[in-house]
Structure 1
């Protein structure tokens, strides 16, 4: 008998079930319309408001990037926001402005929002769920299309997002030198998707988890030259203070691409 397990990595942006359970639920409940693509995520960020972003931006970018990585064009978002009683209104205004700005950057509309307020101490200030809706454009990207000899490409530096949050939480001082990379990647994917076999955001578990899932799905061995991976000195040091390697660190605005050789 199989059981659901719960895992939480306090350095990442997303909390949820393991990938196997997530895939099972998605297959059972996902819409059957061939051209409709839906991706949903629940986002918990510590701290929820940080130097160059906040949980609202993380949620919008996370949902649209997950959807765009399938080869679809994101169109609309539905959001659920849980606010803790006592949250200052200026932070609420900051959150809504950030969501609006990130949605505009991604080229999507916020079609629906539901908000709930819970007692102080029950929500770590803010939780956000985001569901992105889009349309399929051509063949779907996925690990089943990865072939022996494909090149693995990362589109940005590893670990910046996690390092920024770690530094803020623990007072390390590196947050002034390394910023979160949180950004919508819809425009980038639209430009390059016709030349890709597979694309995946490096969220929870970072590049290492992305490679593990792809290798498992295709039963392939993946070779990576770690010396060639883009990692800033500040991010490496900040992560090392908490025993986290850049390969395992969450990125909020970088992709792992599998490109034909």
Structure 2
């Protein structure tokens, strides 16, 4: 074999490095069973996993306000460690800074996840084909409903838990069977769907009745004029799956604790509109409109 072909073959067999980074400011920074530290770890791990990579290591930068009670500092550090352990990633480095009271809204966290992308075709929206099915790995809007209920004292936070969770373990078994994957974060599922439809110049048809939304989350978001489709999640992925592999992928997701409420929500059609169409219970379809400039509230 010529040396050039041998080297090319070796390079193709070497995992490609991958990285994702994010800065997180959460209001409130401590909530229910979570906090800004868990949000940061899960956020970058999920973004990296959705790119098709295996998260391996994590670095963190934490900015604390002077005077933050030590029990909250311990809660934050313990939460970061537990989230990293759950995600199966090693914390390689942490840097901490303290600023004057009032300069950091109690605590800011930046996180960077490093991993490797296995050999083979990457997950990419250009892989999506007409007939592919759209799946979500869990309920929509729970994270937004929980935080906004706390922020606005609506009283639903005890009924609607945040969905914040690391999803690399959920995604790993089904990665070879996916066309594309996206983490559902700020802007909600609607932002993911609009982006993919516009980039592909295809039509994404979504069954409204199939969207998994907890009743209390819908009520809490409705009180603030927010559509669950536009609401942020912290532990949900949108997957594009070939039709013939949908049942197998869905079964694998249901077998994982964080995928028990995974659902098929729609399909990709060949209509070259670049739109997202919502199909109601009566069978009629309407286009998903542009994002409401006032409704989606930034959480991170």
TM-score range, shorter chain: 0.7 to 0.9
Query: Could you tell me how far 1:34 is from its partner in structure 2?
Result: 6.9
Equivalent in 206, 210, 218 of residue 200 of structure 2 = 218
- The alignment's TM-score, normalised by the length of structure 1, stands at 0.86
Matched, 1:192 2:170: no
Residue in 2 that maps onto 1:242: 224
- Cα deviation 1:193-218 (Å, max 9, x = unaligned): 11100111100101000111111221
Equivalent in 197, 207, 214 of residue 232 of structure 1 = 214
- Return the alpha-carbon distance in structure 1 between the equivalents of residues 148 and 85 of structure 2: 28
| Number of residue pairs the alignment of both structures matches | 229
**Considering only aligned residues, what root-mean-square deviation do their CA atoms show, in Å?**
1.1
Matched, 1:54 2:29: no
- Return the alpha-carbon distance in structure 2 between the equivalents of residues 197 and 91 of structure 1: 41
Contact 1:71–1:139 under 8 Å retained in 2: no
Q: Secondary structure at the match of 1:40?
A: strand
- The alignment's TM-score, normalised by the length of structure 2, stands at 0.75
Query: Could you tell me how far 1:176 is from its partner in structure 2?
Result: 0.7
Runs of 4+ aligned residues of structure 1 deviating over 6 Å after TM superposition are none
Residue in 1 that maps onto 2:58: 77
Contact 1:168–1:175 under 8 Å retained in 2: yes
- Cα deviation 1:119-174 (Å, max 9, x = unaligned): 11111111111100000123211211111111000110000000000111111111
Q: Secondary structure at the match of 2:233?
A: coil
- Return the alpha-carbon distance in structure 1 between the equivalents of residues 228 and 124 of structure 2: 24
Q: Which runs of 5+ in 2 are unaligned?
A: 1-13, 244-300
Higher mean alpha-carbon deviation, 80-89 vs 135-144, is at 135-144
Residue in 1 that maps onto 2:283: none
Equivalent in 181, 188, 210 of residue 206 of structure 1 = 188
Residue in 1 that maps onto 2:279: none
Q: Secondary structure at the match of 2:186?
A: coil
- Return the alpha-carbon distance in structure 2 between the equivalents of residues 187 and 179 of structure 1: 21
Matched, 1:40 2:40: no
